[in-house]
Structure 1
């Protein structure tokens, strides 16, 4: 009997590089960034900050130098600028629109500028849409606001708008609104399979969330796998240019399902809780930080992601170079 020895292809670093199946590229990494009136650190996410307008310009230029492929901008308005409808989300002078314009002014087309298209950071109740008297989020009236927000982001200079609110029909309505507004070249990255996850906790500190209750009626149940694929198919049918699975690391099965059927690029978001847990463990010396970061992003790409949103994007890009 002949002994089969797969270990022959693992004998040296050069051999392992030669036969490696997946290689993460800096250009497929997207760095989430928070733009606010005033800068400040996010205590639950070591190394992550809110940037003021000058700071976001500098941070964007730094990401370009590192070779990062894209930036995803989130707006963090002051409390006095929030209202029940999130009207600053589509205001020309809203913090997110000014942040987009500042980044485009700094880096032009050297990096893909993406904008989160959702109301949650801008509303006093912290939900992703208009809330009715009975506490339910009104899907259809919210779509009108999403269209206005997407058009405002496109006018400010976004290359990509990214509806993340999980409202039914959001991609089709936004596509129609962008095209009618003369922004037919602006792409839509649909948060297609977004789960009601506990891993978003640190993000809510970063955006100073005022969430009342939870989002389980419009974000997906973490127990459901087939539903994630169904949501992605619907967004693809509505014309999404890219689709996303969020969170990434704990939903690799859903990511693989979506990647297997998608004819457009597939993104995955390595979210704040995933980041914070690694940083906390590394701070205590329990894990090898760099190896954990590299392995976790490799796993996301191996599962089928063409684009990875991660708070380590810039640092990882430097290592990959």
Structure 2
């Protein structure tokens, strides 16, 4: 046995202290972005059945949720709005007193240090559930840009720190950047959903945001899950148009894409740990099939290891507690 020549990799795993010393990837509270669903009305805290622990909040109930987020040290939230009324062009998305705008004002008044990201899309606000203007059953690209630009400006006026357009219309970053600059918001960054796939993992979100399409699907504007090189074209376009962050969505089945984007571009990369990914872990944990904490932490570490700088995740509050040893 003394003549064997092999490497002893276990030397660096021999104790918790040793493993900590050589750890390559870290997950921090500062990496987390917490999604919140806000609805019009009063005294509303509706549980989302397919996403245990996630709720729709009216503004009066939102205060308590935001206080908890701040107390946990989570630095940022992203807002998704559900209006009381919907129409063909998503008027509630760009109304000065729309639900996202009012929620933003409330948060910034109560906790000005909390960074508010506004999701900029139309699907929650249109009666047809698509992310743009519709003619027959065709989603029109260029007319949608005008409405998205108006929405972004109204969100910035309300105090949003970052605009996050998720609609996947061609030219959406360029249109929003020009509109923000012309309105005097040249310092407001754009966190673009640059690489967004037409995924089966979005089902629970559509329940939470009440934004499922009433006809067809979103495959004419969201990306084909089979395509890798297309991600480069989408990311490059958004960078050229003025994006400041790049989101890859979903995350778990697209870790290779996160790594591709990380290797080729130098903007901050955001992994969106989407609703279906969250729901699967929650369901398995509730059935006793997995232990929730280690699986969640391993999953998010995988996203960081793949190259993500930030993670948008419904697990954020739990993760913040776990990172504090609670």
**In the alignment, what sits opposite 1:51?**
57
1:109-150 deviation line (CA, Å, top 9, x unaligned)? x221101000000000000000112x1111111000010000
Question: TM-score when scaled to structure 2?
Answer: 0.96
CA distance in 1, matches of 2:61, 2:95: 21
Kept in 2: contact 1:163–1:189 (CA 8 A): yes
> 8 Å contact 2:107–2:114 — kept in the other structure?
no
**What is the TM-score when the length of structure 1 is the normalising length?**
0.97
- Relative to structure 2, which stretch is displaced further, 92-101 or 116-125? 92-101
Q: What is the rounded CA distance, in whole Å, between the counterparts of 2:23 and 2:138 in structure 1?
A: 49
Pairing 1:264–2:261 present: no
Query: Unaligned 5+ residue runs, structure 1?
Result: none
Contact 1:41 / 1:50 at 8 angstroms: preserved in 2?
A: yes
More moved, 251-260 vs 55-64 = 55-64
Deviations 1:45-102 (A, max 9, x none): 0000001102222212211111112100000112xx1001001100011111111111
1:154 pairs with 156, 164, 173, which one?
156
Aligned partners of 1:229 and 1:254 also within 8 Å: no
**Cα distance in 2 for residues equivalent to 1:56 and 1:162:** 21
Aligned to 1:65: 71
Residue number in structure 2 paired with 1:288: 291
Aligned to 1:142: 144
Quote how far apart the aligned CAs of 1:210 are: 4.2
CA contact (8 A) 2:194 2:246 kept: yes
Say how many residue pairs are matched.
317
Equivalent residue number for residue 39 of structure 1: 45
Alignment of 1:197-216 (within 5 A): 197-212=199-214, 213-216=216-219
Matched with 1:27 is: 30
| Secondary structure of 1:122's aligned partner | coil
2:307 counterpart of 1:301: no
Distance 1:171 1:177 in 2: 10
> Helix, strand or coil for the counterpart of 1:250?
helix
Q: After the TM superposition, which segments of 4 or more aligned residues of structure 1 sit over 4 Å from their partners?
A: none
* Inter-partner Cα distance in structure 2 for 1:139 and 1:101: 30
Q: Secondary structure at the match of 2:253?
A: coil
5 Å-filtered alignment, 1:1-321, equals 1-37=4-40, 38-78=44-84, 81-108=85-112, 110-133=113-136, 135-212=137-214, 213-321=216-324
Determine the C-alpha separation between the residues in 2 that align with 1:165 and 1:30: 19
Q: Hey, what's the Cα distance between the residues in 1 that align with 2:244 and 2:61?
A: 30
Describe the SS at the equivalent of 2:252.
Answer: coil
CA distance in 1, matches of 2:180, 2:127: 27
Cα drift, residue 39 of structure 1: 2.6
Q: CA RMSD in A?
A: 0.9
